[in-house]
Amino acid sequence: MTGYLFHTDQDRREMLEAIGAASVQEIIDAQVPADVQMKVPLAIADGLDEMSLESLMRSLAAKNASAASHTCFLGGGAYDHFIPAAVDEIASRGEFYTSYTPYQAEVSQGNLQVMFEYETLVTQLTGLAVSNASLYDGGSATVEAVLMSLAATKGRTKVVTTTALHPQYRQTIDTYLESIEADAVVIEATSNGTSESMIAAIDSETACVVVQHPNFFGRYEDVQRIADAAHQAGAIVVQVFDPVSVGLIKRPGDLGVDIAVAEGQSLGNHLCYGGPYLGMMACREDLIRRMPGRIAGQTTDRRGKRCWVLTLQTREQHIRRDKATSNICSNQTLLALRATIHLSLLGPHGLRETAEHCVAKTEYARQQLSRCQRLEIVHTGPVFKEFVVRDRDGDVAELMQTAFNQGILAGVPLASWYPEMSDCFLVAVTEKRSRAEIDRLAEVLSSSLAAV
């Protein structure tokens, strides 16, 4: 028997004797009716010792390309940013890694203080008053913001968003709204941006406007104007922001946003094929009691010492049950810890430099790719860290395959989400990409032309 069990035969005998049962089966038989018990063992292969498991997993891992084996220009909501060694080292400490929700504050001060520091950092990043301790990911955080807005504007049922919001976030919103009385109105993003048509769509039925800035195509939105119009109509403004971008550009709170949400993967969390990631959420002070999820707060103990506890728990499912602000229980604390360490290492200058590198390298990549005959840069206006490229030959798959064969993950094809952009792909450039790597991308995509 492989695995992690403890009991010797002697232990088992003594334990059964103390219980007063002849066997574990007897204990089970006393509760589980015979007609629902399994008559045959589970059809799952025999267990593996550690060395065999290691060789299995190494062979499976070896069959995958990744941002470690290839130069990664993929974005679309998850990015190959640099993760300092100290993040992995600290976050893998068992005291963080193998603890759980801090129900017993006295033996969870480490986690609670980290949560409080994380929440403070998120308020600093967003310019908003309060943050929760984490949600699942960017997509579900966006939905939670929509649900919060619907609850806060009771009676209103319209959610205004645009095609420049991450398509998977939009799909997630649609799924959740299916079961409740609310509808999403999606504004078509045009080459002039989306703010005019979004503003036109806002009315007295509108619960909230959801705007991503920088948007899915890397472009800047006029959040302030949208916010002004939404507020005049009594609607709530939700911004999906990029936590790296605020090193350089105005924060959601500076733009009049009421609820800011983000995918926090960029802050020290591994790509890991989409999860676990980090749903970030901050909001205006007066919305705090509508917030979903755990919140750590400061208080004092019986000796007057400063300490931290889970607070405002009457919002949560374990107290309020069907009247809770959300059903969330397990969250993404470990990922929030990683973000906290990451931001502590970066500081204001490190985050600003990271954002500057993204902008400059993205601009350089745009320049280089614009020289490839086969390619067209779709939006020429300013972008943050990604941009849309059109393949004039209309064979994005071939282009991506050519690049892949040369060791490059060149971009995210847009066809499955945007039929009108079936000949386009999205290129993301983080601070990790070197000038040589960008040159190589341009070279490989150009030589693909030569091969045609």
Partner 1 sequence: MRNTQATQLIFEMSRIGRRATVLPPLDLPVPAVDQLVPKDHQAEAPLPLPELAEGDVVRHFVNLSTLNMSVDTHFYPLGSCTMKYNPKRNERLCSLPGFSAVHPLQDPATIQGLLQALYELQGMLAEISGLPGVSLQPAAGAHGELTALMVAAAYFRDRGENRTVVLTADSAHGTNPASAAMVGYETRTVKSRSNGLVDVDDLKSKLDGSVAVFMLTNPNTLGLFDSQIREITSLVHEHGGLIYLDGANMNAILGITRPGDFGADLMHYNPHKTFSGPHGGGGPGAGPICVRDFLAKYLPQPIVMKNGDTYHLGTGENESGTNDSIGRVRSFFGNVGVLLRAYCYIRTYGGLGLRRVSEDAVLGANYLLSRVKHILDVPHGDRCMHEFVASASKIKKARGLSAMDLAKRILDYGFHAPTVYFPLVVDEAVMVEPTETESKETLDAFAAALFRITDEAPELVHEAPHSTKISRPDDVTASRRPIVRWTPE
Measured CA to CA, the distance from residue 191 to residue 104 in angstroms comes to 53
CB of 281 to partner 1, least distance (A): 13
How far CA 95 is from CA of 33, 201, 224, 309, 371, in Å, comes to 41, 50, 43, 18, 52
The partner residues of 198 in beta bridges, in order of sequence, read: none
How far CA 214 is from CA of 64, 65, 432, in Å, comes to 31, 28, 19
Measured CA to CA, the distance from residue 270 to residue 267 in angstroms comes to 9
Candidates 71, 145, 146, 147: give the one binding partner 1 (CB under 8 A).
Answer: 147
Residue 250 lies near partner 1 (rule: CB under 8 A): yes
CB neighbour list of residue 87: distance below 8 Å, 6 or more residues apart: 268, 338, 341, 342, 345
Pick between residue 182 and residue 375 the one whose CB is nearest to partner 1.
182
Candidates 9, 43, 155, 204: give the one binding partner 1 (CB under 8 A).
Answer: 43
Between helix 167-177 and helix 138-152 the angle, nearest 10°, is 50
Stretch in the footprint of partner 1 (CB under 8 A) among 191-199, 204-212, 315-323, 385-393: 315-323
What residues from 183 to 212 belong to the interface with partner 1 (CB under 8 A)? none
Candidates 361, 385, 390, 440: give the one binding partner 1 (CB under 8 A).
Answer: 361
Stretch in the footprint of partner 1 (CB under 8 A) among 193-201, 267-275, 388-396, 440-448: 267-275
How many Cα atoms occupy the beta-carbon half-sphere of 134 within 13 Å?
A: 28
CB of 309 to partner 1, least distance (A): 5
Residue 297 lies near partner 1 (rule: CB under 8 A): yes
Residue 77 lies near partner 1 (rule: CB under 8 A): yes
How many Cα atoms occupy the beta-carbon half-sphere of 342 within 13 Å?
A: 23
Cα 232 → chain centroid: 31
Candidates 54, 183, 188, 420: give the one binding partner 1 (CB under 8 A).
Answer: 54
Between helix 333-370 and helix 435-451 the angle, nearest 10°, is 50
Stretch in the footprint of partner 1 (CB under 8 A) among 155-163, 202-210, 356-364, 369-377: 356-364
Pick between residue 11 and residue 203 the one whose CB is nearest to partner 1.
11
What residues from 83 to 142 belong to the interface with partner 1 (CB under 8 A)? 84, 86, 89-90, 92-111, 113-114, 116-117, 119-121, 123-125, 129-131, 133-134, 136-140
Measured CA to CA, the distance from residue 94 to residue 325 in angstroms comes to 32
Cα 197 → chain centroid: 28
Candidates 149, 151, 244, 251: give the one binding partner 1 (CB under 8 A).
Answer: 251
Omega of the bond leading into 214 within 30 degrees of 0 (cis): yes
Candidates 150, 164, 238, 334: give the one binding partner 1 (CB under 8 A).
Answer: 334
Pick between residue 153 and residue 317 the one whose CB is nearest to partner 1.
317
Number of residues that bind partner 1 (CB under 8 A): 203
Residue 422 burial (C-beta neighbours within 10 Å; 0-12, 13-18, 19+): middle
Residue 415 lies near partner 1 (rule: CB under 8 A): no
- Coil/strand/helix, residue 174: helix
Residue 398 lies near partner 1 (rule: CB under 8 A): no
Pick between residue 149 and residue 331 the one whose CB is nearest to partner 1.
331
Phi and psi of 211, rounded to 5°? -125, 135
Residue 27 lies near partner 1 (rule: CB under 8 A): yes
Omega of the bond leading into 348 within 30 degrees of 0 (cis): no
Candidates 18, 436, 451, 452: give the one binding partner 1 (CB under 8 A).
Answer: 18
CB of 250 to partner 1, least distance (A): 5
Measured CA to CA, the distance from residue 411 to residue 386 in angstroms comes to 10
How far CA 76 is from CA of 29, 169, 207, 287, 373, in Å, comes to 53, 11, 27, 29, 25
Candidates 323, 371, 436, 452: give the one binding partner 1 (CB under 8 A).
Answer: 323
Candidates 233, 324, 377, 415: give the one binding partner 1 (CB under 8 A).
Answer: 324
Candidates 184, 185, 233, 312: give the one binding partner 1 (CB under 8 A).
Answer: 312
Candidates 196, 353, 376, 393: give the one binding partner 1 (CB under 8 A).
Answer: 353
Stretch in the footprint of partner 1 (CB under 8 A) among 16-24, 151-159, 198-206, 231-239: 16-24
